[in-house]
Structure 1
Amino acid sequence: MIDVQRLAVLREVSRRGSFNQAAQALHCTPSAVSQQVAALERGLGAPVVERSTRGVTLTDAGRLLVEAADAIAAELADTQQRIARLTAERTALTVATFASGGRRLLPSVLAGFAADHPEVELTVLEAEPEESLPAVREGRADLALAYHFAGPPPARPGDRSGLDWTALGEDPLRVVLPRRHPAAARHRERPEAPHLAELADQRWILGCRKSADQLAHHAELAGVELRICCTATDYEFAQSLVRAGIGIALIPEIGLSRHPDLVALPLAEPGPRRHLGLALARRRRGRGRAARLAEDLASRLVAGGTGED
Structure 2
Amino acid sequence: MLLEFEPHESMPALRRGDADVIITTTDFVGHPLDPAIDLMPLGSDEVVLVLPPGHQLTAHDAVPLAACADQRWIFDVDRSYMSDLSTRLCREAGFEPAVIGRFNNYMVALQHVEGGGSITLLPSLAVDPRYRVVTRPLSPPVTRRITAAVRRPASPRPEITAVLTALRAAR
Please report the TM-score for the alignment, with normalisation by the length of structure 2.
Answer: 0.84
Provide runs of 4+ in structure 1 moved above 4 Å: 150-154
The alignment status of 1:267 with 2:133, answered yes or no, reads no
- CA radius of gyration, larger in: 1
Give the direction of change, closer, same or farther, for the CA distance of 1:165–1:254 in structure 2 (3 Å limit): same
Q: Quote the offset at 1:152 in angstroms.
A: 8.3
2:27 partner amino acid: F
The alignment status of 1:124 with 2:6, answered yes or no, reads no
Give the direction of change, closer, same or farther, for the CA distance of 1:260–1:134 in structure 2 (3 Å limit): closer
Give the direction of change, closer, same or farther, for the CA distance of 1:232–1:250 in structure 2 (3 Å limit): same
The alignment status of 1:135 with 2:13, answered yes or no, reads yes
Give the direction of change, closer, same or farther, for the CA distance of 1:259–1:179 in structure 2 (3 Å limit): farther
Summarize deviations over 1:50-105 as a string: whole Å, max 9, x none: xxxxxxxxxxxxxxxxxxxxxxxxxxxxxxxxxxxxxxxxxxxxxxxxxxxxxxxx
The alignment status of 1:203 with 2:72, answered yes or no, reads yes
Separation (CA, whole Å) in 2 of partners of 1:268 and 1:213: 19
The aligned runs of 1:53-72 (5 Å cut-off) are none
Q: In the alignment, which residue of structure 2 is the partner of 1:193?
A: 62
Q: Quote the offset at 1:226 in angstroms.
A: 2.2
The alignment status of 1:280 with 2:159, answered yes or no, reads no
2:24 partner amino acid: A
Give the direction of change, closer, same or farther, for the CA distance of 1:252–1:258 in structure 2 (3 Å limit): same
3-state DSSP of counterpart to 1:251: strand
Contact 1:175/1:248 (<8 A) preserved: yes
Separation (CA, whole Å) in 1 of partners of 2:32 and 2:105: 24
From 201, 220, 225, give the equivalent of 2:91: 220
Q: Quote the offset at 1:154 in angstroms.
A: 5.5
What's the Cα RMSD here?
2.3
Give the direction of change, closer, same or farther, for the CA distance of 1:215–1:136 in structure 2 (3 Å limit): closer
Please report the TM-score for the alignment, with normalisation by the length of structure 1.
Answer: 0.49
Summarize deviations over 1:287-307 as a string: whole Å, max 9, x none: 2xxx222122113223323xx
Contact 2:110/2:131 (<8 A) preserved: no
Contact 2:46/2:141 (<8 A) preserved: no
Q: Quote the offset at 1:164 in angstroms.
A: 1.1
Q: In the alignment, which residue of structure 2 is the partner of 1:293?
A: 159
**Count of residues in Structure 1 that have an aligned counterpart in Structure 2:** 169
From 27, 45, 51, give the equivalent of 1:171: 45
Higher helix share: 1
Higher strand share: 2
Q: Quote the offset at 1:251 in angstroms.
A: 0.9
Q: Quote the offset at 1:143 in angstroms.
A: 0.8
Contact 2:69/2:96 (<8 A) preserved: yes
3-state DSSP of counterpart to 2:153: helix
Q: Quote the offset at 1:200 in angstroms.
A: 1.4
Q: Tell me, which stretches of 5 or more residues in structure 2 are unaligned?
A: none
Q: Quote the offset at 1:129 in angstroms.
A: 2.7
3-state DSSP of counterpart to 1:268: strand
1:148 partner amino acid: T
Q: In the alignment, which residue of structure 1 is the partner of 2:57?
A: 183
The alignment status of 1:257 with 2:131, answered yes or no, reads no
Q: Tell me, which stretches of 5 or more residues in structure 1 are unaligned?
A: 1-122
Q: In the alignment, which residue of structure 2 is the partner of 1:5?
A: none
The aligned runs of 1:24-173 (5 Å cut-off) are 123-151=1-29, 155=33, 159=35, 162-173=36-47
Contact 1:173/1:266 (<8 A) preserved: yes
